[in-house]
Amino acid sequence: MVSDFPGLRLLVSPMSPLGLLLPALPFPLFTYPGFAFPWELKHKGLFEKFKCDTVSLCAADGRALLFTADVPFITELSSFASREVFPKPVDAYKVLSYLGSNLVVCEGEAWRRQRRIGAPAFSKSMFERLWIDMRDIVREMVEEERWEERTSLTYPSSLQVTDSGYTLKPGEIMAPHVVDLTLRMALAAIARAGFGMDFEWEAEASFTHVCQTFGNPQRWTWWLAILRWIWGICDVIFAPLACLFRPVITVVPAHFGPKASAFWKSAPLLPLRLVWVVMFYFLEELWTLFARPTEADFNPRKIKVHEALHLVAKDSTLRLAVPTWMMYLPFRRMRRMRIAFTTLEAELRRLAAEGKQYHQDQLDGRSQFNSASPQEERSDLMNNLVKAAMMDEAEMNDPKGSPSTGIVKGLTDEEIVGNIYIYFLAGHETTAHSLAWTLALLAAYPSYQDAVIEEINRVWPPDHSSYEPFRNDTSMDDYAKFPFVLACYWETLRLFPPVQMIPKLVAKDVAITVQASNVNPSLPNELPLARPKLNAHHSSWSSAASTLCPPTPVVEAKTNLGESGSCDTSLVQNDTGHTRFAVKKGTIVFVDPPGVHYNPQYWEDPETFDPTRFMRTYNKEAFIPFGVGHRACLGRKFSEVESVAMLIHLLKNYSVHLVPSSANGTVDVEAARAKFSRASVRITLTPAEIPLIFRRR
């Protein structure tokens, strides 16, 4: 039984609606680590604590869960042969199906049909377009944000001061949260290469901050005029006082802040903190009526599609936890969530209708799709998906074809919209966050950034006779020439896996075998060097990697049922150090990517940022940022091509640096890494704040 295995015993399950909303309580005082516990605890705080790479989680509500970082077990768990025993629990993904069925939320024949139709949408011509689009997106960002002008040593200094007291020097640009840039670049990539949409770069102080302004109550014009007058008087009165008492305002918090923060976070004050959180939420809602008027109050505008998509990605977990009627409550976040979801739904349905009409016109004008001339073909992802779906349906309706076998072909309108939504969501947020962390890690470890530049200059030798910041003669063929850049991106995905939990449902009583103990794990000795090849989804990497952790039979073909029909619940340890135990039907088994990626049994010095580990033979089965087995992410190569293209064009022209931690310009790398490693778990892992400085090379 699951309860026979070591693990957490909780009052509330993190997977329950209440668990999604509750904050993390002091661990292990109340034994509730919060919904984000796989990321917060990783391998050391969970699996190492219980001395086993598979642990149980049992809650008072009767939920029995397993979390595993045992790679041989995961390999068999996610294999195609085990798909009937360990299917995907589609109910856990219902928040992703509100626009229609898609690859993520379906199983069985429905999944195979959508996979068959969706895979060809990631065509060679689409990747060619993506590679060129990313170059143009980085160029537009640099031009619209005036980076070339602002990084000039002759540009007038703004004397911008960071929170640490460091004053920016001429030629330096600070991005307070670099996700504001990477989010818009990733959105532009999926909008253009994914859906053929126009996406013009707009220079904004903070994209994420602008998105938060939607949902504010619409105040009367006369009330806004009064507030503007009141706030103007306050500026006149309190501005001199702020200058007078600024030393006190800065010194006192710096001296007493850490002690006060530690006291406030102590266990005895937990009830008071919970009360304060509720009070602060309602006070914040009330304050929106009296907040300083902005231009958006006097000239409100409609939310844009990319803003709606960002808010949908941010609030999808909340949408899962609250019923539909709560979206109509008079709270700012509920209004914002309702506006974002309805706007995105309308836009995706419009895109799907346009795509179907485009290909229907193609079908009416010719006898076959394949006769379209290159000038008429559109190579974006959405049109490829719609085309594949309509071709599949056309084959079904072809009178010359084989008789119907009763198998549904094509995609319904709801399935087309649902898959577009998934591609849109997965195609921007995960990549944007991973790119932000890649830049932060390269800033923290300059030697690896120098190695990236060496590789770029080796592929594209600098031409001092002519200045060409962005290569005009590049093509998708160049992608395979940057293995170390891709290795840096992979190492970031290992340290910051986008997906924190991959659930599998036990469909019938079954006996499984897992590693009995992870105490004193040993890594393989010297690993043979193997240079990575970047084609065919990297299937040509050395097969020797699979021998690092040979899979052992973990799921027996026959369930160990006695005459009474119940599973044998005894734990049996064999001579190989593995434990065999029974799992009942209905149990959820979670693959734990942070636990796997920080497992010292598969990764040497797992806490260390070392991209060179991917330039050697490594355990492919222990690298799971894109999922595992036959259900792995279909858009893996899209993310990799997009990320490599963005990194090489940005880093070719600008170096990236951590924000100094003191006024004299020194940098505490460990403190900076701890700061930019703070993250929350929504649909994917989301960074809290990543401030970086850029300088022209």
Return binding residues for heme. 633
What are the residues whose beta carbons fall under 8 Å from the beta carbon of 76, sequence distance 6 or more? 82, 551, 552, 553, 554, 555
Instruction: Return phi, psi of residue 176, to 5°.
Output: -55, -35
CA atoms lying within 13 Å on the CB side of residue 262: 4
Structure tokens at 274: 């919970």
DSSP 480-528: GG-HHHHHHHHHHHHHS-S---EEEE--S-EEEEEES--SS----SSPP
Quick one: which of 597, 590, 613 has its CA closest to 495? 597
Integer angstrom CA distances of residue 60 from 35, 46, 245: 16, 20, 53
Handedness of CA 130, 135, 136, 138 (dihedral sign): positive
In a 10 Å sphere around its CB, with 0-12 CB exposed, 13-18 middle and 19+ buried, how is residue 100 labelled? buried
Give first-to-last CA distance, the chain, whole Å: 60
Q: What count of other Cβ atoms lies within 10 Å of the Cβ of residue 562?
A: 8
Structure tokens at 265: 């976070």
Cα-trace Rg, the chain = 27
CA distance 298 to 302: 13
- Sign of the Cα torsion 31, 37, 42, 47 reads positive
Q: Do the beta carbons of residue 128 and residue 377 sit within 8 Å?
A: no
528 with 544: CB under 8 angstroms?
yes
The closest of 192, 49, 106 to 598, measured between CA atoms, is: 49
Tokens describing residue 299: 């000239």
User: What span, in angstroms and rounded, lies between the C-alpha atoms of 627 and 587?
Assistant: 20
Q: How far apart are CA 32 and CA 422, in angstroms?
A: 31
DSSP string, 27-89: TTTS----TTHHHHHHIIIIITTTTSSEEEEEETTS-EEEEE--HHHHHHHTSGGGTTTS---
**Per residue in 184-196, is it b (16+ CB within 10 Å) or e — as a string?**
bbbbbbbbbbbbb
Between the alpha carbon of residue 578 and those of residues 70, 72, 493, 574, 595, the distances in Å are 11, 11, 29, 6, 19
Q: At residue 286, what is the residue type?
A: L
Displacement of CA 653 from its chain's centroid (Å): 26
- Residue linked to tokens 């041989």: 72
Which SS3 state, helix, strand or coil, does residue 684 take? coil
Spatial CA neighbour of 186 closest among 656, 55, 178: 178
Sequence ranges of the binding site: 633
Q: Name the token pair of 662.
A: 């003191």
Residues making up the chain, counted from first to last:
697
Output phi, psi for 405, to 5 deg: -100, 5
Q: What is the DSSP string of 557-599?
A: SS--B-TTSPBP---EE-TTSEEEEEE-TT-EEEE-HHHHHT-
Pairwise CA distance, residues 573 & 580, whole Å? 6
